[in-house]
C-alpha cells in the first residue's frame, strides 16, 4: 500500500508538479505510467515522464485511434475502452481487464466509481476478481484511495486531455513489486485549455 504522498518536483526543466512517495531500494521493479481521458490530445510531456516506464496503462476515453496507436508505438500498452471511444478502439481493447502483475491482482475499467461509491457493475466485478488494485477513469478527478473492507487500493489518474470539467491535467506513475505499489507520483501536466498549455519543446 502506498504511503502518504508529498509534493516534489520531477524535473527542473519541466514545470509539471509531482506528489510522490519516496522509498529506497526499488530500482529494478516494474515501472508503470497510468493515464486516462486523453480525449484526442496526447501531451508531448507524457513521453518525457513515462520514458523510463516498462508499460503504459490507459483507463479509457482515448479519443481518435491515433492516440492509442501512438502509445502502442511508445511502450507496451494495457488499456480499456471508454464511453467516448469508437468501434475501432472497442475492437482493439476490452471494456474491462483483469490480470496479475508483480504479485498483485489488478482490475481496470473506465467507469467504476470509487471506494464507498462503487457502481453496480464494479461491485460485482470486485466480488468476482477480488483485486488488490482497481483502476478507472471517467470522473476526470485524480483519486488515490484505500478500500479497507475489500483490502484494495483504488487509482484514478484524472484526465490527461483538455476536454472536460477538470482544471488541471493529471496522470500517475508508480512501481510494482512483490504485491506492493510504491513510488507513487501524481503528475500535473498543466491547466486544461490548449491555449494555456505549451508543448514540451516550448517548455524546455
CATH superfamily of 15-190: Metallo-dependent phosphatases (3.60.21.10)
User: What is the secondary structure of 21-70 as a DSSP string?
Assistant: ---SS-TTSEEEEEE---TT---THHHHHTTT-SEEEE-S---SHHHHHH
pLDDT digits (tens, 9 = 90+) for 6-18: 333 334 344 344 4
The confidence band for 27, taking pLDDT boundaries of 50, 70 and 90, is: low
pLDDT digit string, tens, across residues 52-84 = 999 999 999 999 999 999 999 999 999 999 999
Amino acid at each position: 500500500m502506498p504511503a502518504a504522498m508529498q509534493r516534489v518536483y520531477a524535473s527542473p526543466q519541466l514545470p509539471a508538479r509531482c506528489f510522490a512517495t519516496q522509498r529506497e531500494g526499488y530500482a529494478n521493479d516494474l515501472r508503470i505510467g497510468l493515464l486516462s481521458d486523453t480525449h484526442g490530445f496526447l501531451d508531448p510531456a507524457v513521453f518525457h515522464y513515462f520514458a523510463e516506464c516498462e508499460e503504459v496503462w490507459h483507463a479509457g476515453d482515448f479519443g481518435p485511434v491515433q492516440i492509442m496507436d501512438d502509445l502502442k508505438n511508445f511502450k507496451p500498452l494495457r488499456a480499456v475502452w471508454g464511453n467516448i471511444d469508437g468501434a475501432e478502439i472497442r475492437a482493439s481493447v476490452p471494456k474491462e481487464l483483469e490480470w496479475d502483475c508483480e504479485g498483485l491482482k489488478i482490475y481496470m475499467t473506465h467507469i467504476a466509481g470509487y471506494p464507498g461509491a462503487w457502481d453496480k457493475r464494479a461491485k460485482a466485478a470486485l466480488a468476482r476478481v477480488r483485486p488488490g488494485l482497481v483502476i478507472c477513469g471517467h470522473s476526470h478527478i485524480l483519486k488515490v484511495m484505500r478500500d479497507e473492507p475489500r483490502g484494495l487500493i483504488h487509482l484514478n489518474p484524472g484526465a490527461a486531455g483538455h476536454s472536460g470539467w477538470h482544471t488541471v491535467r493529471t496522470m500517475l506513475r508508480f512501481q510494482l513489486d512483490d504485491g506492493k505499489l510504491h513510488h507513487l507520483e501524481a503528475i500535473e501536466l498543466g491547466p486544461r485549455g490548449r491555449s494555456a498549455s505549451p508543448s514540451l519543446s516550448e517548455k524546455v
